[in-house]
Amino acid sequence: MKQYNILFLCTHNSARSVIGEAIASTHPSGKFVGYSAGSTPGTSVNPFARELAVEMAYDEKKLRSKSWDEFGLPDAPKMDFIITVCDNAAGEQCPFWPGQPVTAHWGFPDPSQVQGSDEEKRRAFKEVMIGLRKRIDILASMPLEKLDSLSLKEIHAKS
């Protein structure tokens, strides 16, 4: 079975994009390898995002904030899908992605901006995880070899 590479982009690559990487990589369909990056990456992965990724049995050693420039290098994995998960990254000028990957914007509010108790913060991260999982489930059920940017954007509308 062919596996499809998905790059999740966000500004700081510490929360939403990291959750997307973990969900895609651990998806029960086995169809995806998830990656994540940011336009101005932070210094570390948010602890609540890390906690969720570990709960999904994602390899904790792979969790780090990284620049999207890494994925424009000649030896970088070829992406099949590029998905922005924050409004800032969606509006930024992205690097050139070799191979013309299918692109979409699946916007989610930034859970790291939630104020309150750790339980309230955890809930915000879980809401993002649930939303991303729904969209990735829909994506996994589609004929991936026939997808284009328009049909990927329709997943956003369905979820």
The pair of structure tokens assigned to 65 is 């904030």
Of the candidates 86, 90, 136, 155, the residue annotated as catalytic is 86
How remote is the C-alpha of 41 from its chain's centroid?
14
Query: 24-34 burial string, b = 16+ CB within 10 Å, else e?
Result: bbbbeeebbbb
Question: Catalytic residue at 105?
Answer: no
Please say whether the beta carbons of 43 and 13 come within 8 A.
no
Of the candidates 10, 24, 144, 152, the residue annotated as catalytic is 10
Q: Taking the CA of residue 47 as centre, how many other CA atoms within 13 Å lie in the half-sphere pointing to its CB?
A: 3
Distance, in Å, from the CA atom of 97 to the CA atom of 72, rounded to the nearest integer, reads: 6
Question: Catalytic residue at 151?
Answer: no
The pair of structure tokens assigned to 145 is 């070899």
| 3-class secondary structure, 6 | strand
Of the candidates 56, 94, 140, 142, the residue annotated as catalytic is 94
Question: Catalytic residue at 1?
Answer: no
Catalytic residues: 10, 86, 94
